[in-house]
Each structure stands twice: as structure tokens, then as C-alpha cells.
Amino acid sequence: MTPDWYDWHAHYADPTSALSLRLAELRTRIGAALDQAPPGPLRAISLCAGQGRDLIPVLATHPRGGDVTARLVERDPRNVEVARAAVQEVGLSGVEVVLGDAARTDAYAGLAPADLVLVCGVFGNISDADVRATVHHCASLCATGGIVFWTRHRQSPDLVPTICEWFAEAGFAEVAVSTPAEEVGVGVHRFLGTPGPLPADATMFEFTERSRRAGPSLTDGHATVDS
Ligand SMILES: C[S@@+](CC[C@H](N)C(=O)[O-])C[C@H]1O[C@@H](n2cnc3c(N)ncnc32)[C@H](O)[C@@H]1O
């Protein structure tokens, strides 16, 4: 069964949930990347951005936020509406929220390679083969020295170590990866290579039906980290 991706965001209402802890970790990491970013204009893209709760508040408050041109791509119109309202509320003129298919490489035309690439809440919802393919696409989505922020649950079988190997294979260095004990599954990788051309018209991944995957459903106790 496909989750209702609008309702899924209700898990953020509990500040003690693993999802909220993950969000806090992501915001800290995005802020730290902006602290260290070179002066001048910056570009950010967010794949499957949901309501933009990770990137938008950081850009709204960070001194470099105004330097960032960002594109958030999300398929659920209700989430797009929430994210657009958040952008408008904080007056981020460089941030657009696009209603569309984030899996399509052409969604990032003009902004990739970007300095900040968010792939959050994606790797727990696609096949391992698609995770690997998406990691390799990150070598085209991300600028040299840019950072990819990603998440993945730590439930068995824990794919996080393998995802880190795939990032290394694609030319990334590990900045930080949460430990299994932390449960939140946040990864941060810096791209050391030269971005390849982003193939036009390619599909990087497809969300799978939860019933076809091993693991808990959205409604059980692990739901908050199942992404
Ligand atoms: C697990 S949620 C993560 C949302 C957000 N990144 C976060 O971490 O808070 C996954 C999101 O991906 C969106 N989504 C799924 N497939 C998509 C696609 N092909 N293109 C754009 N958005 C997609 C869903 O609507 C949902 O909002």
C-alpha cells in the first residue's frame, strides 16, 4: 500500500520521534555545510522534498540563506502547497518548489550540479538497485566540493554501509554517517570528483509499494525511521 505522503509528515509533530531527531540532525548538517561553503552564489536541490522541513528553515535563518538558489521537487500537491507557503512566509525569493517527478533528471536542469543535494526519505522507499543508481547520479547532480545529504533507516538488512561504499565508488568522501545506535540514519557525503553530464530524460528511481518490501508498515513503531 502506498502511504499517504501528506499524512506521513504528521510524524514530525512528535519532537521525540526518530523522524524529528533525523530532521534536527539534517538541519544541523545543512547549516554546517553552509558555514563552510565558499563565498558567492550557491545552488541547492531537494529530491522528493516533501514539505521542505529540512532545507527551508535552515535557509530562512542562516546568514548564507539568501545566497542560495534552490529547487525542491515533490509529487504530492498538498506537500508542495505547504512547502510553498513556508517559502513565502520566510521570504526566500531564491527558492522554488516544483510539483513534479523528482526521479527525472530533467527536473534539475539549470541547477545541477548543485552545492547542496538533499536525498532524504528516498533510500528507504526504493529498490537497492535504484539506491545505487541514484548514488551514481549524485556524481552528476552534485558540484565538486558539494555535499549530498541522505537518509536511510537502519533496520535489518542495514544497507547504510553498502550505500557508503557506493558513494565512495562514485567519488564521494564521507563527512558524517550516523551510527546504528542513533537509529536516525543520516548520511553526509562530499563530492571530490568532477561532475559528469547529467543524462537528459533519465529516470533515477521509482518508489516501491511498501507491501512489496520487507520491513514495517507506516503505522508500526518503526515507521518514523522507515525512510
Ligand atoms: C518519506 S517522504 C520524505 C519527504 C522529505 N524529503 C522529508 O524527509 O521530510 C517521501 C516524499 O517523496 C515524495 N515522492 C515520492 N515519489 C516521488 C517522485 N517520483 N517525485 C517527487 N516526489 C516523490 C512523496 O510524495 C513524499 O513527500
DSSP classification of residue 58: H
CB neighbour list of residue 79: distance below 8 Å, 6 or more residues apart: 5, 6, 9, 49, 50, 51
CA distance 41 to 125: 32
**Please, are residues 105 and 96 in contact by the beta-carbon 8 Å criterion?**
no
CA 116 to centroid of ligand 1, rounded, Å: 17
The CB of 50 under 6 Å from ligand 1? The reply is: yes
Q: What H or E segment, with its residue span, contains residue 70?
A: strand 68-74
pTM: 0.94
Whole-number Å distance, alpha carbon 82 to ligand 1 midpoint, is 13
Going from the Cα of 75 to the center of ligand 1, the distance in angstroms, rounded, reads 7
User: What is the reported pLDDT for 23?
Assistant: 97
Distance in Å, CA 7 to ligand 1 centroid: 12
Distance 102 CA to ligand 1 centre (A): 8
Q: Which of 75, 150, 153 to mutate to test the pocket of ligand 1 (most atoms within 8 A of CB)?
A: 75
Question: Are 163 and 185 a contacting pair, CB within 8 Å?
Answer: no
Predicted local distance difference test score (pLDDT) of residue 171? 98
- CB of 121 closer than 6 angstroms to any ligand 1 atom: yes
Strand partners, 187: 150, 177
Give the separation between CA 192 and CA 28, rounded to whole angstroms.
Answer: 22
Asked if 204 contacts 103 with a C-beta cutoff of 8 angstroms, the reply is yes
Ligand 1 site, residue 79, Cβ cutoff 6 A: yes
- The series of mean pLDDT values per 10 residues for the chain, 227 residues long, is 93 94 96 98 98 98 98 98 98 98 98 98 98 98 98 94 98 94 90 96 92 36 46
Domain positions in the chain are 5-214
Distance 35 CA to ligand 1 centre (A): 27
pLDDT at 211: 40
Task: Using alpha carbons, select from 90, 113, 115 the residue that is nearest to residue 30.
Answer: 115
Pairwise CA distance, residues 45 & 114, whole Å: 7
Distance (angstroms) between ligand 1 centre and the Cα of 22 equals 15
Q: Cα(11)–Cα(7) distance, rounded to whole angstroms?
A: 8
Measure the CA–CA gap between 184 and 187, rounded to whole angstroms: 10
Give the strand pairing for 95-99 and 68-74.
Answer: parallel
Which is the closest atom of ligand 1 to the Cα of 6?
27
Instruction: Return the pLDDT at 184.
Output: 82
Tell me the three cell numbers of residue 39: 563565498
Helix 128-141 and helix 160-169: axis angle, to 10°? 40
Q: Is the CB of 6 under 6 A from ligand 1?
A: no
Give, in degrees to the nearest 5, the angle at Cα 121 between 152 and 111: 115
102 lines ligand 1 (CB under 6 A): yes
Q: Which fold does the domain 5-214 belong to in CATH?
A: Rossmann fold (3.40.50)
